[in-house]
């Protein structure tokens, strides 16, 4: 009994097999090993440099002040900078941080950072991303690493936005997801506009009511301490640190434009993006309108730090659920300092990367929308033809 001869793989097949093996090893190294090492190094370096969850520290102190029955807000003589640790958010953040007071500050900060790693991974999962390489690559994004290192609320907001999209047609989940963020920080308010223009008016009203109700309830818990003075606190904060953030206003001032002109250009650009949210929503482009609402939130915020751009994770995951060019674009923010104080060139380049990411995401969404429409037309035409033959 003789075995049949098995033909040896051709040179072309061997070359293709070798390329596949190299690509697989590269994926393991770049999307698996490297992100794990960088996140581990981030935790180690923050402990060594005493910068563990630096932005979480004001929340921790605010929680202590609330437990002690005093106001969490700084007096007029307290400088509003990173060293002072002044709390400048609505009371909800301080209230949520109360359970962390059972831990020492550094340990609480490490727990927060670990939770933010989980939140970052949860964003693409909620949006249906199942390509494991995307989960590794997102931990190479400078804004995501900055959000984890600082212990800021941005990744929680990104997760809330992802949940809002996932449950966009369910009244309570979508309105609660957006409403709670409004009470914590009035940042994602363009999502309320998106709800309204995509014929989810009840959800938009509910999100506004939940946000306002939660805000007032959280302030009532602390006896409305700092309530009247809060608008002035925000004005002082913008005057103190607004010139160091990543906004079109700052970029134009750095380019030599007068402050008044630069601010006007910034507002006009932000309003144009908001108009685009309305136009896209009215045309039935639900996904495009949602992405533009995220862009409007970034464009209309007077103070933007590097970690704010972690919201692009929602944009990219929604537009491209498998690894592609979009997942690599935010790596271009590597030249931006995570601690603030960017140069005009760094501000402009970071904004350019963000704008390019959003533009490419919209292009992908519109392309997929056209393809879906054509498939629907062809399917109807085929069905009509079969019906005619019958």
Which residue range is the domain that position 110 belongs to?
Answer: 29-73+86-227+238-374
Separation of alpha carbons 373 and 379, rounded Å? 10
Q: Is the pLDDT of residue 381 over 60?
A: no
Query: Is 7 inside any structural domain?
Result: no
For 210, how many CA atoms within 13 A lie in the half-sphere containing its CB? Answer: 21
Mean pLDDT, residues 26-52: 95
Query: Is 1 inside any structural domain?
Result: no
Q: Is the pLDDT of residue 184 over 90?
A: yes
Query: Is 19 inside any structural domain?
Result: no
What percent of the chain has a predicted confidence (pLDDT) above 90?
Answer: 78
For 76, how many CA atoms within 13 A lie in the half-sphere containing its CB? Answer: 3
At residue 12, the pLDDT reads 64
pLDDT band at residue 13, thresholds of 50, 70 and 90? low
Mean pLDDT, residues 269-280: 97
What percent of the chain has a predicted confidence (pLDDT) above 70?
Answer: 90
97-115 pLDDT per residue, tens = 999 999 999 999 999 999 9
The CB density around residue 130, as the number of other CB atoms within 10 Å, is 10
The number of distinct structural domains making up the chain is 1
Query: Is 384 inside any structural domain?
Result: no
Question: Which distant-in-sequence residues (6+ apart) come within 8 Å of 223 by Cβ?
Answer: none
Tell me how far the alpha carbon of residue 106 is from its chain's centroid: 25
What does the mean pLDDT of the chain come to?
91
126-148 pLDDT per residue, tens = 999 999 999 999 999 999 999 99
At residue 155, the pLDDT reads 97
Whether 184 contacts 93, CB under 8 Å? yes
CA dihedral 281, 249, 153, 143 (to 10 degrees): 90
CA dihedral 339, 112, 73, 296 (to 10 degrees): 60
Q: Is the pLDDT of residue 195 over 70?
A: yes
Q: Is the pLDDT of residue 89 over 50?
A: yes
Q: Is the pLDDT of residue 180 over 90?
A: yes
Query: Is 8 inside any structural domain?
Result: no
- What single string gives the DSSP state of each residue in 206-268? HHHHHHHHHHHHHHHHTTTTTTTTHHHHHHHHHHHHGGGS--HHHHHHHTT--HHHHHHHHHH
At residue 384, the pLDDT reads 55
Helix (H), strand (E) at residue 14? helix 11-28
Separation of alpha carbons 123 and 317, rounded Å? 8
- State pTM to two decimals: 0.91
At residue 1, the pLDDT reads 45
Nearest Cα neighbor of 95 from 227, 218, 186 is 218
pLDDT band at residue 80, thresholds of 50, 70 and 90? confident
148-164 pLDDT per residue, tens = 999 999 999 999 999 99
Query: Is 13 inside any structural domain?
Result: no
Give how far Cα 323 sits from Cα of 19, 29, 35, 75, Å: 18, 15, 15, 49
Q: Is the pLDDT of residue 296 over 50?
A: yes
Nearest Cα neighbor of 180 from 220, 145, 147, 215 is 215
The CB density around residue 370, as the number of other CB atoms within 10 Å, is 10
Query: Is 112 inside any structural domain?
Result: yes
Helix (H), strand (E) at residue 40? helix 34-49
């Amino acid at each position: 009994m003789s075995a049949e001869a098995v033909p040896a793989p051709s040179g072309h097949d061997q070359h293709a097999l070798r390329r596949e093996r190299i690509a697989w090893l590269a994926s393991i190294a770049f999307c698996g090993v490297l992100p794990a090492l960088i996140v581990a190094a981030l935790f180690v370096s923050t402990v060594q440099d005493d910068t563990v969850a630096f932005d979480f520290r004001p929340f921790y102190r605010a929680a202590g002040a609330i437990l002690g029955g005093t106001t969490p807000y700084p007096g007029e003589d307290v400088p509003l900078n990173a060293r002072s640790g002044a709390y400048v958010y609505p009371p909800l953040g301080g209230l949520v941080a109360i359970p962390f007071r059972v831990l020492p500050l550094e340990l609480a900060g490490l727990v927060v950072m670990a939770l933010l790693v989980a939140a970052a991974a949860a964003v693409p999962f909620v949006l249906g991303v199942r390509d494991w390489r995307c989960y590794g690559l997102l931990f190479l994004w400078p804004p995501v690493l900055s959000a984890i290192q600082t212990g800021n609320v941005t990744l929680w907001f990104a997760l809330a936005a992802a949940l809002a999209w996932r449950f966009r047609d369910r009244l309570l989940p979508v309105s609660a997801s957006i409403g709670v963020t409004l009470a914590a920080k009035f940042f994602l308010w363009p999502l309320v506009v998106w709800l309204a223009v995509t014929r989810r008016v009840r959800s938009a009203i509910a999100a506004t009511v939940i946000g306002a109700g939660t805000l007032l309830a959280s302030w009532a818990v602390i006896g409305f301490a700092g309530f009247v003075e809060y608008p002035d606190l925000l004005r002082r904060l913008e005057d103190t640190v607004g010139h160091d953030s990543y906004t079109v206003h700052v970029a134009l001032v750095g380019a030599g434009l007068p402050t008044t002109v630069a601010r006007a250009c910034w507002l006009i650009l932000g309003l144009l993006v908001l108009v685009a949210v309305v136009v896209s929503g009215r045309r039935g482009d639900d996904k495009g309108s949602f992405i533009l609402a995220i862009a409007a939130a970034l464009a209309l915020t007077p103070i933007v730090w590097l970690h704010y751009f972690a919201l692009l994770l929602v944009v990219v995951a929604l537009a491209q659920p498998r690894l592609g060019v979009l997942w690599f674009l935010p790596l271009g923010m590597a030249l931006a300092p995570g601690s603030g104080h960017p140069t005009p060139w760094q501000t402009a380049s970071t904004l350019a990367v963000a704008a390019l990411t959003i533009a490419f995401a919209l292009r992908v969404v519109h392309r997929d929308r056209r393809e879906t429409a054509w498939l629907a037309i062809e399917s109807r035409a085929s069905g009509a033809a079969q019906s005619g033959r019958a």
